[in-house]
Amino acid sequence: MKKERVLVQCTVNGKEVAEYVDPGESLLEMLRNRLGLTSVKKGCEVGECGACTVIVDGETIDSCIYLAVWAEGRNIRTLEGLEKNGELTRIQEAFIEEGAVQCGFCTPGFIMSATVLLEKGEVLTREAIKKQMSGNLCRCTGYQNIVNAVEKVMKENADQK
Amino acid sequence: MYDIENYYNAETIKEAVTLLKEHPEARIISGGSDVLIKIREGKLAGTSLVCIRDIKELKGIIKMDSGDIYIGAGTTFSHITSDPVIQENIPVLGEAVDQVGGPQIRNIGTIGGNICNGAVSADSAPALFSLNAMIRTADGSGGRTVPIHDFYLGPGKVDVKPGELVTHILIPEKEYTGYHGHYIKYSMRRAMDIATLGCCVVSRINPSANILEDIRITFGVAAPVPLRCVKTEEALKGSPVNEKLYQAIEDKVREEIHPRDSWRASREFRLQIGGEIARRALERTVELAAGGERK
Ligand SMILES: Cc1cc2nc3c(=O)[nH]c(=O)nc-3n(C[C@H](O)[C@H](O)[C@H](O)COP(=O)(O)OP(=O)(O)OC[C@H]3O[C@@H](n4cnc5c(N)ncnc54)[C@H](O)[C@@H]3O)c2cc1C
Ligand code: FES
Ligand code: FES
C-alpha cells in the first residue's frame, strides 16, 4: 500500500497533466521533479519563506506543504505559465525596473503572490501590499523595491480603467 | 517526500468516521499546515492520514434560521475573513484569523485544524472563547456538542475522541447580537509570527446609560490553554464606561493571567503587555459600539 502511486489529473499552466505520484509527495516535488517547472523554488520546506508559492484555483499556496494528491482536478499556475509569446508580464518587467531582483531565489514566489494581488484589481496602500506579501521572504532586497514594483503596476492598472 | 504510512481520503463525514474507526492509528489531515510540519520535523513521521479536505459538508459559513452562525471546520481562514455573514455579524473572528501567518497559510489553514491542534497561540481561539462558541463533532452515533471552554484540555490536547472529528463550530445568536469584539495579537515580528500574547474582548455596552453590561475577555498564550478572565469580567460588569473602567481592566487582568517565561518573552513583559492590550481591546469595542468604523 505504502509505495502505491496515485494518479493525479490536473491543469498546470493551461495544459492537462496526468502523473502518478507518491501519496507523500509534495506539490513542489511534483512540479519540479516530474514536470520540470524549476521556477518553483525549494527553500525552507516548512511554509515559512514562500519561495515555492504557486497559484491553485486562484489562491496562492506554499507548494512545499501541499500534497501532490490534493492537486486532483485543480488549476495550477506557476511562473512558467505567465509569459505570453516570450514576453514578460508587466509585473515581471516592473520587478526588473525597480531593482526588486538580486539573487532571484525569492522572485518567482513574489511574482506569483503579486500576480494574484494585481488580478484582484484592488488598489491597496503600501501597508496593505506588505501584508499581502508577508508570506514571502527575501534575504537580499530589503523589500522596499519589491513593494515599489507592485505599487507601480497597481497604479498603472488603476489609471488605465 | 513526506514520511506517510497510509493515506486514506474521505469524501463524506460518514466515510471519515468509518475510516477513523477502521484505522485508529491514523490522524486527520485538513489543511495540513500543522500536520505536515510535524511530519517534516519527525514528530509524526510514519503516521497514517485520513484526509478530510474533499468533504464538502465541512466547508462554508451559514447564518441559520435560528440566527446561530454555522462555520464548517474545513473553512479556510481567508474564506472566513472574506465571508459576508462573518463581516456582518461577527467581524472580530474574521479580523482575528486574518492575523494568522501569511496569505499562503491563510489560504490552506482551517479553523477546525486551528482549534484541534490545541496550541494556545491559535489566533482563532481567543475570539471563539469570547463568543462562547460551541464545537460540534461527528462520531457515527449522533456526535457531541462541546462548549469551547471545555474543549481545550491541556497544551496540545483537545476533546476529540478516537473515531471522532469536528464538523463545525456554532456561534449562538444570543452570544453575538448586541456585542462588539476586538482582537489584539502581540507578536515580536509583525508578520508571519505566532502570538507572544493575544487578547480578545467582546463587550455589550448600553449607550444611553453608558454602562458596560457584559464583557468577555480571553487571552491566548497567557496560560497552558486559552484563558477567560472570569474574575475580571465579573468585577467590571455594570461599571460606567470611563477611565476608571479602563484602569480597572488593566490592573485586574494582570492579577488574573499567569503567563510563563519563554524565549519569546519574560513573564513580567507579558503581564505588562497583557494589561495594555486588554485595555486597548476594550476601548476599541466601546468605539465600535458608538458607531466607530471597522478598519
Ligand atoms: C508558516 C506557518 C505560520 C503559521 N502561523 C500561524 C499563526 O500566526 N497563527 C496560528 O494560529 N496558527 C499559525 N500556524 C499554524 C496553522 O496554520 C494553523 O494552526 C491552522 O489552523 C491549522 O489548520 P490545518 O487545517 O492546516 O490543520 P492540519 O494540520 O490539517 O491539522 C491540525 C490538527 O488538527 C487535527 N484536525 C484538523 N481538522 C480536524 C477536524 N475537523 N476534526 C478533528 N481534528 C482535526 C489534525 O489531526 C491535527 O492534529 C502557522 C503554520 C505555519 C506552517
Ligand atoms: S519552500 Fe515552501 S515556504 Fe519555504
Ligand atoms: S533577491 Fe535574493 S532572496 Fe530575494
Q: What is the pLDDT of residues A30-70, one digit of tens each?
A: 999 999 999 999 999 999 999 999 999 999 999 999 999 99
Residues of chain B with CATH 3.30.390.50: 178-289
pTM over 0.90: yes
Q: Which residues of A touch B1 (CB under 8 A)?
A: 22, 24-26, 29
Q: Judge if the beta carbon of residue B35 lies within 6 A of ligand 1.
A: yes
Whether the predicted pLDDT of B15 surpasses 70: yes
Instruction: Tell me the average pLDDT of chain B.
Output: 94
Q: Which residues of A touch B82 (CB under 8 A)?
A: none
pLDDT at A16: 98
Query: How is residue B112 written as a grid cell?
Result: 477546525
Residues of chain B with CATH 3.30.465.10: 56-174
DSSP reduced 3-state for A4: coil
Phi then psi for residue B53, to 5 deg, are -65, -30
Whether residues A53 and B104 touch (CB distance < 8 A) is answered with: yes
pLDDT at A3: 64
pLDDT digits 0-9 by tens, B201-237: 999 999 889 999 999 999 998 888 999 999 999 999 9
DSSP code per residue over B164-233: -EEEEEEE-HHHHTT-EEEEEEE-SSSSS---SEEEEEEEEEETTTTEEEEEEEEEESSSSS-EE-HHHH
d(CA B279, CA B50): 43
Provide the edge-to-edge strand list for the sheet that holds B134-138: B61-63, B69-72, B165-171, B134-138, B145-147
Whether the predicted pLDDT of B115 surpasses 70: yes
Whether the predicted pLDDT of B192 surpasses 70: no
Q: Judge if the beta carbon of residue A29 lies within 6 A of ligand 2.
A: no
Name which of A8, A67, A110, A150 to mutate to probe chain B: the one with the most chain B Cβ atoms within 10 A of its Cβ.
A67
**Torsion sign over Cα B224, B228, B229, B234:** negative
CA of A64 to the centre of ligand 3 (A): 18
Mutate to test the pocket of ligand 3, among A138, A144, A147 (most ligand atoms within 8 A of CB): A138
Domain B56-174: CATH class, spelled out: alpha beta
Q: Judge if the beta carbon of residue A51 lies within 6 A of ligand 2.
A: yes
Mutate to test the pocket of ligand 2, among A45, A54, A66, A105 (most ligand atoms within 8 A of CB): A45
Q: For B1, which of A24, A53, A131 is closest by C-beta distance?
A: A24
Confidence of residue B191 (pLDDT cuts 50, 70, 90): low
Whether the predicted pLDDT of B167 surpasses 60: yes
Instruction: Tell me the average pLDDT of chain A.
Output: 96
Whether the predicted pLDDT of B71 surpasses 60: yes
Q: Which residues pair with A107 in a beta bridge?
A: none
Ligand nearest to the CA of B58: 1
Q: Judge if the beta carbon of residue A54 lies within 6 A of ligand 2.
A: no
Q: Are B85 and B62 in contact (CB under 8 A)?
A: yes
Q: Which of A94-98, B66-70, B186-190 has the lowest mean pLDDT?
A: B186-190
d(CA B146, CA B115): 13
pLDDT at B193: 67
CA of B66 to the centre of ligand 3 (A): 52
d(CA B222, CA B227): 7
Whether the predicted pLDDT of A159 surpasses 70: yes
CA-to-CA dists, residue A96 to A148, A151, B254, angstroms? 11, 14, 51
d(CA A115, CA A79): 10
Q: Which residues of B touch A6 (CB under 8 A)?
A: 7
State mean pLDDT over B167-188.
Answer: 96
pLDDT digits 0-9 by tens, A101-135: 999 999 999 999 999 999 999 999 999 999 999 99
pLDDT at A1: 45
Q: How many CB atoms lie within 10 A of CB A45?
A: 19
CA of A61 to the centre of ligand 1 (A): 14
Q: For A131, which of B32, B40, B191 is closest by C-beta distance?
A: B191
Residues of chain B with CATH 3.30.43.10: 4-51
Query: How is residue B18 written as a grid cell?
Result: 468509518
The CA angle B31-B34-B37, to the nearest 5 degrees, is 115
CA of A77 to the centre of ligand 3 (A): 21
Provide the edge-to-edge strand list for the sheet that holds B227-228: B180-186, B197-206, B211-220, B227-228
Give the helix ranges, DSSP H, for chain B: 13-22, 35-41, 77-82, 84-89, 91-97, 103-108, 111-116, 125-130, 148-151, 173-176, 230-236, 243-256, 267-289
CB–CB contacts below 8 A, A to B: 76
Ligand nearest to the CA of A43: 2
d(CA A147, CA A135): 13
Q: Does domain B178-289 match CATH 3.40.630.30?
A: no
State mean pLDDT over B23-52.
Answer: 97
Q: Which residues of A touch B37 (CB under 8 A)?
A: 46-47, 65
Q: Which residues of B touch A24 (CB under 8 A)?
A: 1-4, 7
Q: Are B206 and B236 in contact (CB under 8 A)?
A: no
d(CA B192, CA B33): 13
d(CA B24, CA B11): 18
Q: How many CB atoms lie within 10 A of CB B238?
A: 12
Tracing cell 474543549 back to the chain, one arrives at B151
Q: Which long-range contacts (CB under 8 A, 24 or more apart) does A17-21 make?
A: A19/A68, A21/A68, A21/A69
Nearest CA-CA partner of B148 in B173, B174, B114: B114
Domain B4-51: CATH class, spelled out: alpha beta
Name which of A7, A27, A49, A134 to mutate to probe chain B: the one with the most chain B Cβ atoms within 10 A of its Cβ.
A134
Nearest CA-CA partner of A114 in A87, A140, A103, A101: A101
Q: How many CB atoms lie within 10 A of CB B243?
A: 7
d(CA B112, CA B118): 10
Q: Judge if the beta carbon of residue B30 lies within 6 A of ligand 1.
A: yes
pLDDT at B277: 96
